[in-house]
Chains A and B, each alone.
Chain A
């Protein structure tokens, strides 16, 4: 994510620092005999809770989300030997526009050691899916009735022009082998201190839906192609309209797929990006595995 505010970076940097202190008191490897507590949280940061400012975009757009709902579930805290410390079965829907961080699950009496195989799934909501935070009942029903795993609604603005969008995704993605960002130490997984509490955050990056490349480290946020896809000029950018924009109609140096197969339209592109929004402890990342 680019263009973070100082407060956001401070928050993100603070959690790893605390965890490093805790883990230093416990076991440095994956072994250990005591137990501790692991609080699993999620947070949408300023970009989702407030807005993505025009300064973050290459072409002057800004985005404000009205809804950013994601279904999180099947959390697994394990290690490379196959030892499973804790699991969360079932799923919860979170509206990340609400002020967070939000608690996802609290694991008590989990083995005090480093768990280096942390994973979570984003899957379509089902009948048993519960509200994870103060999500509106109508929104929960929207997710269940349509089988969405991820839904965003918001507004893009440039100058005096604005258009709205509401896109639902029914994709299943597993994020596994989560690891801190190199600048935060690069630890794989999470260390639970003996008799203490560790905090693990699945951080949701709202700007990813507007990246202009699926692979390049030089990807930037770009809004013009998406904004211009509103073919019927009704002020609403639909997924069908995104699907009508073949990537070959865009400049060759934009919307590079990095070799991704079966990504031909802007809708394909945004769907591919939707599988990248879950991060780990701020800027860390997980391997994102396609499940459908």
Chain B
């Protein structure tokens, strides 16, 4: 994979894509809000390559990373948890730590009802669909990851992990619906604003705490895998559930 160059071209593609997008907006009475629609795309973060080292010292090279995303809903309520350090380069938004049961979504502002399988290693941004709603501060988001269509998984990742003399060809797969609540968004959707929204998903976070030396297998394809009920399956599923893997921007 060409690394940084890939992502410069990535941004140019997004820019040109959204520059062709026409926002549709009409007045919504005297509330100050206007109906709007905009394109919603999903991508890996700009700084992501295919290889990285996780917290346990495993050097990981990804061969594939897919996630089935949608629908997405946007709300006025404060995010559930603090902004990830990964988001520092984005527009600053308030940080918040939650209290069990105290998340308040607030007003529903927008939604993307489409659902699509997103290849996070693609050199092209993936268009999820069209968001519809009203203008305003999209402060937090609810995102669903769930199997759809021919896909039996919500998250699928394959690759090779290396540590000292150990080389592990692995496959991680989750077949359950995952609802991520109160993700930090912090984007002002304004009347006539050019461009569209991008949700970044970082699959490196999924594998951040996995000890590849204790995976089960191999399966019929030769992959070591995350067996349900094990600490590694827990580490993987908790990684997918980590809000730090998700961020939003307007481009």
Return A4 CB to nearest CB of chain B, in Å: 15
Interface of A (DSSP majority class): loop
Number of A interface residues, CB 8 Å?
Answer: 33
Q: A248-B209, A250-B234 are in contact. Are A259 and B182 (CB under 8 A)?
A: yes
Q: Is B81 touching A276 in the complex (CB atoms < 8 A)?
A: no
What is the distance, in angstroms, from A213's C-beta to the closest C-beta of chain B? 6
A108 to chain B, nearest CB (A): 32
Shortest beta-carbon distance from B170 to chain A in Å: 16
Question: Is A290 within 8 A of B96, CB to CB?
Answer: yes
- Whether B81 and A261, one on each chain, are in contact in the complex, defined by CB atoms closer than 8 angstroms, is yes
Contact present for B242 and A248 (CB under 8 Å): no
CB of A49 to closest CB in B, whole Å: 21
CA distance A248 to B103 in the complex (A): 24
- Taking CB atoms, residues of chain B closer than 8 Å to A250 are 234
* Chain A residue at minimum C-beta to C-beta distance from B178: A259
- Asked if B183 contacts A248 (CB within 8 A), the reply is no
Q: Is there contact, CB below 8 Å, between A261 and B244?
A: yes
Q: Which of A235-261 contact B (CB under 8 A)?
A: 246-252, 256-261
Q: Chain A 105-125 against B: per-residue CB contact (8 Å), 1 yes, 0 no?
A: 000000000000000000000
Interface assignment of B235: CB less than 8 Å from any CB of chain A:
yes
Q: Which residue of A lies closest to B210 (CB)?
A: A248
* A19 contacts partner chain B, Cβ-Cβ < 8 Å: no
Q: Which residues of A in the span 258-292 have a Cβ within 8 Å of any Cβ on B?
A: 258-262, 264, 272, 275-276, 285, 287-290
Residues A258 and B80 in contact, CB atoms below 8 Å apart: yes
Residues of B within 8 A of A (CB): 55, 78, 80-82, 84-85, 94-103, 180-183, 208-209, 231-235, 237-238, 241-244
- Residues of A near any B CB (own CB < 8 A): 173, 208, 211, 213-219, 246-252, 256-262, 264, 272, 275-276, 285, 287-290
Which 5 pairs show the lowest CB-CB distances between chains A and B? A261-B244, A217-B101, A248-B235, A259-B243, A219-B100
Could you write out 29 A-B pairs with CB less than 8 Å apart? Answer: A214-B81, A215-B80, A215-B98, A215-B100, A215-B181, A215-B182, A216-B100, A216-B101, A217-B100, A219-B101, A247-B234, A249-B234, A251-B234, A258-B241, A259-B182, A260-B81, A260-B82, A260-B243, A261-B81, A261-B82, A261-B84, A261-B243, A264-B208, A264-B209, A287-B94, A287-B96, A288-B96, A289-B97, A290-B97
